[in-house]
Structure 1
Amino acid sequence: MEKPPRSTTTLSLDDLADQLVAAAVAEGLDTFALSGYSLGGPVAIRAAARHPERVTALLLTATFPHRDNRLSLALPVWRKLAESGDLELLAQYLTMMALGADALEAMPDEQLRQALAFTTASIADGTPEHAELAPRVDVRGDLPHITAPTLVISTTQDWFTSTRLHRQLAESIPGAQLVEIATGHLPMVERPEEWQQLITTFLDQHNA
Structure 2
Amino acid sequence: MTKKNIAILTVIVAILIDQISKIYVKTHFTLGEEVVVFADWFKIHFTENNGMAWGFEFGGRGGKLFLTLFRLIAVSGIVYWLTQSIKKNIHSGVIIAISLILAGAVGNIIDSVFYGIIFDSSHGQIATLFADKPYGEIFYGKVVDMLYFPIYEGESFTFFNAIFNGADSWITIGVALLFIYNKYAFPKESEA
TM-score in same-fold range (> 0.5): no
Q: Larger RCO: Structure 1 or Structure 2 (Cα < 8 Å, ≥ 6 residues apart)?
A: 2
TM-score, scaled to structure 2 = 0.31
* Structure number with larger C-alpha Rg: 2
TM-score, scaled to structure 1 = 0.29
